[in-house]
Structure formats: C-alpha cells, structure tokens
Amino acid sequence: MALYALTIFLSSFLLFQVQPIIAKIILPWFGGSAAVWNTCMLFFQAALLGGYTYAHLLYARVPGKRQSHTHIGLLVVSLLALPILPGDWWKPEGAENPALLILGLLAATIGLPYFLLSTTGPLMQAWYARANAGAVPYRLFALSNFASLLALISYPIYVEPALDSTRQAWIWSGGYALFVLVCAGVSWRVRNDVAPVPTEEEGVLAEPPPAWQRRLLWTGLAACPSVLLLSVTTHLTQDIASIPFLWIVPLVLYLLSFILTFETSRIYWRWLWLPLFVVSLAGMVWIEMPSAPEITMVQRIAACAAAMFVCAMVCHGELASLKPHPRYLTNFYVALSVGGALGGLFVGLLAPSYFDAYHEYPIGWWLTFALVLAAVTARYEAFLLKGKGIVVLTLLLAALGVYGGAWTNIQKKFLSGYRVTQRNFYGTLRVEDEGDFNDKTRVRQLLHGVINHGQQYLNPERRREATTYYCRESGVGTAILARNEFIPHRVGVIGLGTGTLATYGRIGDEYHLFEINPLVLHLARAEFSFLGQSNAVTKVHLGDARLSLERMEPLNLDVLAVDAFSGDSVPIHLLTKEAMELYWRHLNPTGMLAVHISNRYLDLEGVVQTGAAATGKVALEFSDERDEGDEVCYGSTWVVVMNEATQKAHAAHLAAGKRMESPAGFRVWTDGFSNLIGVLRAK
C-alpha cells in the first residue's frame, strides 16, 4: 500500500501546489480580482471531472495490460508541457471575455499535467482494490485531501516568500517529472494485476450497481459544498472584509471535511452534526436579517466559516456513508467530480452572467438544505414515506420553503437600498445615495463589496469638489496642485473609480484614465459627473493598465496616480520594479508618481520605497489624518515618487511629505517575486 500512498500523496500535493503557482502568474494579467480565482477553480474542477471520467473509462473498458500502457504513454507525452510557464501571447488585449481566455490559457499551459494528476487518486485506488482482494481503498482518498491541504498551507508560508514565480514553475515541473517516473513505475508494476472489467467473484458478495437515484444523490452532495465554498469565499472577501488570504479559510475547512469524513466513520455522528446543521442554516439567515443585532467583523467571519464547515461535514459525511463497493469506486469519483464541476460552473460562469448580485450565496445554503433533506429521506425512507413519517416529511418540506422565502426577503431588502446594482466578471457594483434629500451634504457613492470607490455631492454647487481619498490635502492632490498652474498638464490615473481626479482638470489639460472593469466606466459616466464636467480632455483606456501602458507610446505625463490597492486582491504587477520602470517611461523627467497605499491590512510603504530606490528616485509619504466624523475627505496615505531635483524644485508645495528610507532587509518586489505575508500588518 505504501507505493500507492506515495503516488497519491505526490499527485495531490502537486495538484494543489500548481493552483497558486499558475494563479500567481496570471492573476496580474486579469486585474487580480476574486473572479479570476473562481474561474481558475472552475477549470480545476472541470479538469478533475475529466480526470475522474478517464480513470473510470480506462478501468472499466480497457483490457488489463493496455490500461497500464495507455496511462504510461500519456504520462510521457505530458512531459512535453513542461515547464508550466504561459507565454506572453496569452495576455489580454482588453476586449476579450476574461473567463474564456483564462480557461484557454490554463488548458494550454497545465491542462494535460493537471488532468493526469487528477486521474491518480481514483485510478490508483481502483488498481489497489483490484490487486488486493477485499481491501477498502477509501482511506487513500483522505490521504489525498491531506496532501492537498498541506500544499495549500505551505505555499503562502514557505514557497512564495522564498522563490520567485519562475523558479516555482521550474521546481514544480521537476516535481512533476518525478511524479511521472513514480506513477509510471506503479503502472508498470500492476500491469498484470488489473482486469479489463471487474469480475463477479471478488472474494466478497458482489453488489448490484448503484441506482441512478443514488448516483444523482452523490452528485448533489458533492455540488452543494462546492457552491458554498466559492460563494462563501466571495461573500467573506467582498462583503465582509477585504483581508488578504481570507480565501484560504473556507478552502482549508472544505478539505478538512473531506479528510475527517473519509478517514474514519467514527467522526460523523448524525445525532451531533444534523442538529448543528440546522443551527448553522438558521444562523446564516439570522445574522443577515436587517433586524439582527450588530456583530463584529471577526464574529461574522467566524460564523460564516463555521456554518460552511458544518454543512460540508454533513454533505461529505453523507457521501462517505453512501460510498459503494470498491468495484464501483470509479463511478463514485466521477459523480463527485461532476458535482464539484457543476458547483464551479454555477458560481464561476453562470452567476456572474445572469445575476445582478451575489444570489448564489443564499442559493447555496438553500440547495444544501434541500440535498441533505433528500439524503436523510433516502436513508430513513421506510419511516418518512408512511404513517407519521409523512407528517414529519411534510413539516421538513415546509421548513425548506420557509427557509427559501426568508432568504428571498433578505435579498430583496438588501438590494432595495441602492439606485443601481450591476454585476459582471469583476464583481458586483452598487450605487447608493446617502444623506437627507434637502441636505447639501447628500452624496452618491460607488461600492464594490465593502470598498468605497468614490463619492460625489449631489448638490450642484458642490458636484465638482474632490472627495474621499482625493481631496486637495491628500498626496495626489498635492502632487497635481504642485505643478505650474499656467502650463497645461498631462495626468494619468490607474483605477477610475467614480472619476474623481478628473475634477482637477483645467482647460488645456489632458487626462488619461485606465480602468480594467468596463462596468466601472459605465457607472462613472451614467451615475456621476466628474468625467463629464471636467474641463480637461479625458481619455479612458479599458483593460489592464500595465498592459495598456506597455503598448502605448510615451505619454509624457506630469503626474501618474496609481490607485488600485485598497482591496484584498492587490494587483501586485502594478507595484513591482518593472512596473515602476514602465511608469517612468511615460512620465516626463520632472514628473511625479503618486501611489495610493491606504490599506487596513497591508503595509505597502516598504514595497513602494524599495521600488522607488531601485529606479533611482526619492519617495515622500503623505499621511492625511482625518477625524472619523469628516464625511467629505477620508484619511489616506499616498507615496509620491520623483527625482531628487523635482523634490527640491517643489520643496514648498511638498513640505507635508515625509522622506522615506528603505527598510533594512526588505527585498524589492519584481515581476517574479512578491511576498504578501511579509507586508501583513501586525494588527
């Protein structure tokens, strides 16, 4: 069993290591949004489905030795995909469908290796069961999930801080080559032990094939935790807190539920987990109700994570209790992979295309309730479908209906307070008005989850005022106003928001605004007037800002404002040394680079300072402290980077800035190296 366990452990570890490696490489190309990760998850789940289906067909349909020979042949061919470094031709131009481009990139870059890694678990378990009559291989499934969990945790702690992405890709490729060698060895060794089709005589009483209802239940019980995993991740990172690495929590709990339920049957006790399941479902509705008492951010995160874990334990516990005889093992894993892929398809592709908000979040809880109810009904069918059991079942179905109605009411109330709620690949954007109708302080603001992307006064006399992080006293306001007021300026802005910075534009000025999300541009023009009322000529460039700048001729900018780091999905590629060099290709020799680094969870001062020093510039930090009661301007931190001569020439205007020094031992971020854990704030 040791050789099978080693092969499965290695394959699962590599499977989950390649996910963050490839995501780290391509996330910057697509703006670093959470939707990119969800799309990657869709690909991984679809590839898993393909791998499990292949394992089933190979084991059930292919004659004995040909199983081994076919698999070894594919393993050898997959080595041609190494190293797993995507070419620059996959970078988006700006008009493509991001989801389809990501799926194509992943398929071409890691498709065959990932596919073959995903086949290893079910295929090795099936071969092990065939070679060892009477053996129960399902503990190997728990081992594979343990390896996945180990890979997931080790990457941000040990791999990312120590290695750049190119080295990560090469080392992973070496590990994959080792896996091919080991897996091919096992495949060759068992070539005489596998039969074309399992025989009736296996040393135990042969079981009939599972009914279609049982297979459908397997699929549903696998799909619901997948939907919850992705929707809870989005809810936590977008609607509760933009905390880096928060997405790891649901994924760890998801894998842990698999490990616990498939390792042993002595942990999933229905008398404990089903009551906890009911409490969890009710608790999720209760904390989302408008009338619910206020709870802290940490309590809300803990409640969501705990409820998701309980639901995953129940679904996976029921799955483990329904697992078939080993002769039908590959059928079982195909059903599991179909469920996971359906969950990813629903959350990753269908929901962003057809929903105007995160409706998949309440739908996930309701579907889980429905599937667990179906599983319980199937298990206690003899009681629930006759006599008093029918009354109990009727009450349970009524509870399911009430639960769905409660979530529907919550969603309606949530959306009723906004002028506009629209969604696309990059997330849900909301526009709301705040303040009394007759009050001069009434504002309209643009929200993406918990992040405020700008606001504007509705009073005609104040509509041209710069607000929030962009007031005159802010670092970017200081940089723009420091320029000679009698000479036309050329200003660049990365991160459009509501277009607030365009309000600084004067007649003769030219503003270049870069925005990756077309929905942001639409709302900035339809709901706000900063762009329309600007005296400057405004040119908006859709697509990733860095890719756009790489394709453009030098703009000769006086000021370039980079404002894209307030959320949890920090676009690292806009902070690297190579990015700084690109910015200075578009700034004139006396220009200023203003970088907005206000962030509750990341300390980005060292990143910007070392990048400035690496390009031979000086950096001034502008911390605009504000009282919490200031509704016009928010406290902000900007770093303004420039030449030494420029600083001296504008010393009077830049007096509020504090000269920054490079922190000792801080490694400059490059396109190949970054370390988000290293810049997490201690608090």
pLDDT tens column, 361-376: 999 999 999 999 999 9
pLDDT digits (tens, 9 = 90+) for 69-106: 899 999 999 999 999 888 877 877 655 567 788 888 89
pLDDT digits (tens, 9 = 90+) for 313-351: 999 999 999 988 877 888 888 898 899 889 888 988 888
pLDDT above 50: residue 202: no
Report yes or no on 156 lying in a domain: yes
Give the domain extent around 129.
Answer: 1-193
Is the same domain home to 289 and 157? no
Is the same domain home to 31 and 98? yes
Helix%, strand%, coil% for the chain, nearest 5? 60, 10, 30
Is the same domain home to 374 and 497? no
Domain stops at, among 150, 177, 193: 193
What is the arithmetic mean of pLDDT over 215-243?
88
What is the predicted pLDDT for the residue at 204?
44
Report yes or no on 448 lying in a domain: no
pLDDT above 60: residue 421: yes
Is the same domain home to 24 and 101? yes
What is the predicted pLDDT for the residue at 28?
64
Is the same domain home to 259 and 155? no
Domain stops at, among 193, 215, 250: 193
What is the arithmetic mean of pLDDT over 44-66?
84
Is the same domain home to 176 and 287? no
What is the arithmetic mean of pLDDT over 153-162?
88
Report yes or no on 502 lying in a domain: yes
pLDDT above 60: residue 206: no
Is the same domain home to 235 and 366? yes
Pick the residue with more confidence: 131 or 535?
Answer: 535
Q: What share of the chain in percent tops pLDDT 70? A: 92
pTM: 0.81
- Cα 315 to chain centroid, rounded: 23
Number of structural domains in the chain: 3
Is the same domain home to 16 and 123? yes
Distances from the Cα of 97 to the Cαs of 93, 94, 104, in angstroms? 10, 9, 11
Report yes or no on 325 lying in a domain: no
What is the arithmetic mean of pLDDT over 575-579?
90
What is the arithmetic mean of pLDDT over 380-388?
84
Element (H, E) at 77: helix 64-78
Report yes or no on 346 lying in a domain: no
Report yes or no on 348 lying in a domain: no
What is the arithmetic mean of pLDDT over 102-113?
90
What is the arithmetic mean of pLDDT over 189-218?
67
Paired residues of 512 in beta bridges: 492, 539
pLDDT above 50: residue 674: yes
- CATH code of the domain covering residue 637: 3.40.50.150
Pick the residue with more confidence: 28 or 480?
Answer: 480
Alpha-helix residue ranges (DSSP H) falling in 486-627: 518-526, 530-533, 545-551, 577-586, 605-614
- CATH code of the domain covering residue 29: 1.20.1250
The secondary structure of 178-225 as a DSSP string is: HHHHHHHHHHHHTTTT--SS--S-SSSPPPPPPPHHHHHHHHHHHHHH
Q: Of the given ranges (390-394, 541-545, 651-655), which has the lowest mean pLDDT?
A: 541-545
pLDDT digits (tens, 9 = 90+) for 624-673: 776 655 567 888 899 999 999 999 999 999 999 999 987 888 899 988 88
Helix 34-61, helix 64-78: angle, nearest 10: 150
What band does 195 get if pLDDT is binned at 50, 70 and 90? Answer: low
pLDDT above 70: residue 56: yes
pLDDT above 50: residue 201: no
pLDDT digits (tens, 9 = 90+) for 264-311: 778 899 999 999 999 999 999 999 888 788 888 889 999 999 999 999
What band does 134 get if pLDDT is binned at 50, 70 and 90? Answer: low
Residue 6: phi and psi, rounded to 5, are: -60, -45
C-alpha–C-alpha distance, residues 680 and 301, integer Å = 18
Report yes or no on 445 lying in a domain: no
Average pLDDT value over all residues in the chain = 87
Distances from the Cα of 516 to the Cαs of 33, 96, 182, 453, 497, in angstroms? 10, 12, 44, 14, 11
pLDDT winner (highest mean) among 246-250, 323-327, 380-384, 495-499 = 495-499
pLDDT winner (highest mean) among 497-511, 566-580, 630-644 = 497-511
Is the same domain home to 545 and 658? yes
288 class by beta-carbon count within 10 Å (0-12 exposed, 13-18 middle, 19+ buried): buried
Is the same domain home to 174 and 245? no
Report yes or no on 87 lying in a domain: yes
What is the predicted pLDDT for the residue at 386?
82
Q: Contact at 8 Å (CB) between 540 and 513?
A: yes
Domain stops at, among 137, 169, 193: 193
What band does 398 get if pLDDT is binned at 50, 70 and 90? Answer: very high
Paired residues of 457 in beta bridges: 443
What is the predicted pLDDT for the residue at 205?
45
What is the predicted pLDDT for the residue at 665?
83
What is the predicted pLDDT for the residue at 329?
84
C-alpha–C-alpha distance, residues 312 and 295, integer Å = 24
Is the same domain home to 551 and 635? yes
Alpha-helix residue ranges (DSSP H) falling in 245-359: 248-263, 270-288, 297-321, 329-345, 351-354
pLDDT above 70: residue 682: no
Is the same domain home to 151 and 286? no
Q: Pairing between strand 587-596 and 557-562? A: parallel
